[in-house]
Structure 1
Amino acid sequence: MTLDPDHALFVAIVDAGSIAAAGRAHGLSPAAVSKRLARLEARLGARLVERTTRRLHPTAAGAQLHADLTHILAALAAAEARVGGAAAVPSGRLRVAAPTSFGRLHIAPHLGGFLGHHPAIAFELLLSDAYVDLAAERIDCAIRITDRVPPGLTARRLATNRRVVCASPVYLAAAGVPTTPDDLARHRLLAADGQLPWRLLTPGRRALIEGASAVRTNSSEVVRELALGGVGVALRSLWDVGEPLRDGRLVRVLPAWEGPHDLGILAIHGPQPSAAVTAFVDHLATRLHAASWEALDFTTGEAQHCNN
């Protein structure tokens, strides 16, 4: 495929979400941009964008083409910088998606230092517990807690994701302390939509905890607050409940059992990341490597002590 000016213009259209905005960036009228978009669609034999009353969205074919072209343009820019002997300076728009609670607790606090070092980056942070399609949402980098990398993308593992069963001392004093996974069937479970059933592991054994959440919610942050409020028992990541476990507002239940260790905290992006993406991932990896949640000491404060 030969890269021509229509390719770069198409990328600008999708990035801006508007034909008029792309035209302004390229010094073209909206009519000229529309004509060139139609010419590209005709040449490829596929509709690339859908127009709504509010903004423009790529079709499935358009999203794939946008992702491919973005990688090609980034590679070309990097190649030119190398030939010119200039290092790529992180700059331009950087759109990052992350889970709500993780973004608030472990990304937002580090943005000041990152932007202080890279003032030419226009940073956008999208927080959502829903699955975010990188191409459709024009996301440059997604932070996900997962064990899967979508086809055509690449990932860097930033940290592990230990998950433990926990509850507040107030809840356990009233409802009793589970001593086996089977005991959880008699307790109020707390989980966001899609987070049940739970799989729990201990050396040589595994358990499947089924049931429904005592409160239905699509928010993991709400689940943590419900656990802190004494509503029930939750399976939570240590990055999420490390502080409440450390100060005693929550205690571990079934301390010999944990969620599987297959999930990791990943930074997912295209195979040819921009200088801005690389700088952000490097910055976050350094901060998360020093995170304290994996070093928590649970030799005290376990649920067995709640009845004392």
Structure 2
Amino acid sequence: MSNLTDMEIFARVVSAGSMSAAGREMNLSPAVVSKRIRRLEEKLGSRLLQRTTRQIAMTEAGQGFYERVIAILASVEEAESFVSRGSAKARGHLKVAVPTSFGRLHIAPHVGKFLANNPDLSINLDLSDDFVDIVGEGYDLAIRIAELSDSSLVARRLAPIHRILCASPEYVEKYGTPQSIDDLLANHVTLAAANQDPWRLAGPNGIETVRTQSPVKTNSSEVVRECLLSGVGIALRSTWDIGPELREGKLQILLPEYRASKDVGLYAVYPSRQFLPAKVRVFIDFLAGLYGSSPYWDAGLEDWLHRPRTAKAS
């Protein structure tokens, strides 16, 4: 049987991306880390890592071994936590992948409180809009805004996500308010990032598709947001992104009988494991308590959010 510490070193090398980085995290020299990895490979009779001067990569055997090792380490951590749950707090290092804008607005401001509640934890928030490989890239969990499909991962819904059509008062004063989807398409400027086109909207006539005609081409949702606020056009935005602007009158809801058709939610996604590590559990519970079924960013929008979407009779 392989040494548990060697397996932990291997998992840390994969998550850190290099032996030197893993050594710094574990207070070991790169030479010791390299020696322990070689010992593990000799014990298993298989190469786990391909090494170059600049980076490491897992072999096929290494990938399969890594997926099983992190499950083993999680089970050990959970077992220790179970024994001492009455007095011990979650500890260790938590690596989380978070969407860029959401992380900046709704996770970063609360990190201080989370760490104060869990002083034995440290956290690495990796803000990116890329769809990360949680297992392959060594994340403990990812926060995703998505309509989740079947996968081998476990997901917990943290909050609903509502998306609305809106524009600035300056735009409305200049171009007027669209009265229908046909009016929107024919007479108004619509803004969307490259991966947000077309819009699928649910309204009185069922699902309708809107292909945007944006004068601004961008792959950045934040660029679209700034153009929206400066009066360039109409956009479909999540309420977590523009809640304050709606309440302050900097943006106005348009065609309030329509909303995005997909059942998108905010999820915590993590590898499928029999036991959930304490450090992951406390972070997920913290976010669930922070947001909930009526998240704070939707305050003041209840009338619109609870508006019925009943299809017209044919």
Q: Normalising by structure 1, what TM-score?
A: 0.85
Determine if the alignment matches structure 1 residue 191 to structure 2 residue 222: no
Task: Give the superposition deviation at 1:296.
Answer: 2.8
User: Unpaired segments of 5 or more residues in structure 1?
Assistant: 301-308
Secondary structure, aligned partner of 1:194:
helix
Alignment of 1:117-196 (within 5 A): 117-148=117-148, 151-186=151-186, 187-196=188-197
Structure 1 pair 62–213 and aligned structure 2 pair: CA distance change class (3 A): farther
- Which segment is superposed worse, 249-258 or 25-34? 25-34
| Backbone CA RMSD of aligned residues | 2.7
Determine if the alignment matches structure 1 residue 78 to structure 2 residue 78: yes
Structure 2 counterpart of 1:282: 285
Structure 2 counterpart of 1:303: none
Task: Give the superposition deviation at 1:157.
Answer: 0.6
Task: Give the superposition deviation at 1:261.
Answer: 4.8
Alignment coverage as a number of residue pairs: 296
Structure 2 counterpart of 1:305: none
Q: Normalising by structure 2, what TM-score?
A: 0.83
Task: Give the superposition deviation at 1:211.
Answer: 3.3
Contact 1:158 1:265 in 2 (8 A): yes
Structure 1 counterpart of 2:214: 213
Contact 2:11 2:66 in 1 (8 A): yes
Q: Structure 2 counterpart of 1:114, which letter?
A: F
Contact 1:162 1:237 in 2 (8 A): yes
Structure 1 pair 95–246 and aligned structure 2 pair: CA distance change class (3 A): same
Determine if the alignment matches structure 1 residue 294 to structure 2 residue 298: yes
User: Unpaired segments of 5 or more residues in structure 2?
Assistant: 305-314
Cα distance in structure 1, aligned partners of 2:16 and 2:135: 13
- Which segment is superposed worse, 134-143 or 5-14? 5-14
Secondary structure, aligned partner of 1:29:
helix
Determine if the alignment matches structure 1 residue 254 to structure 2 residue 258: no
Secondary structure, aligned partner of 2:133:
coil
Determine if the alignment matches structure 1 residue 96 to structure 2 residue 100: no
Task: Give the superposition deviation at 1:250.
Answer: 0.6
Identity of aligned residues (%): 43
Structure 2 counterpart of 1:263: 264
Structure 2 counterpart of 1:15: 15
Cα distance in structure 2, aligned partners of 1:41 and 1:192: 48
Secondary structure, aligned partner of 1:173:
helix
Contact 1:145 1:265 in 2 (8 A): yes
Contact 1:100 1:221 in 2 (8 A): no
Structure 2 counterpart of 1:113: 113
Q: Structure 2 counterpart of 1:184, which letter?
A: L
Structure 1 pair 90–156 and aligned structure 2 pair: CA distance change class (3 A): same
Structure 1 counterpart of 2:311: none
Cα distance in structure 1, aligned partners of 2:222 and 2:248: 18
Cα distance in structure 2, aligned partners of 1:124 and 1:208: 39
Structure 1 pair 199–70 and aligned structure 2 pair: CA distance change class (3 A): same
Secondary structure, aligned partner of 2:260:
coil
Q: Structure 2 counterpart of 1:171, which letter?
A: Y
Picking from 27, 32, 41, the partner of 1:29 is 32
Cα distance in structure 1, aligned partners of 2:205 and 2:71: 45
Structure 1 pair 121–203 and aligned structure 2 pair: CA distance change class (3 A): same
Cα distance in structure 2, aligned partners of 1:296 and 1:70: 43
- Which segment is superposed worse, 196-205 or 83-92? 83-92
Secondary structure, aligned partner of 1:248:
coil
- 1:244-300 Cα shifts (integer Å, max 9, x gaps): 111111111111110025110001112333211111111111111263333433769
- 1:118-159 Cα shifts (integer Å, max 9, x gaps): 111111111112212212332111110112156221111110
Contact 1:149 1:155 in 2 (8 A): no
Cα distance in structure 2, aligned partners of 1:189 and 1:64: 46
Q: Structure 2 counterpart of 1:231, which letter?
A: V
- Which segment is superposed worse, 21-30 or 210-219? 21-30
Cα distance in structure 2, aligned partners of 1:184 and 1:53: 56
Q: Structure 1 counterpart of 2:297, which letter?
A: W
Structure 1 counterpart of 2:42: 39
Contact 1:95 1:126 in 2 (8 A): yes
- 1:170-192 Cα shifts (integer Å, max 9, x gaps): 11222232111122323222222
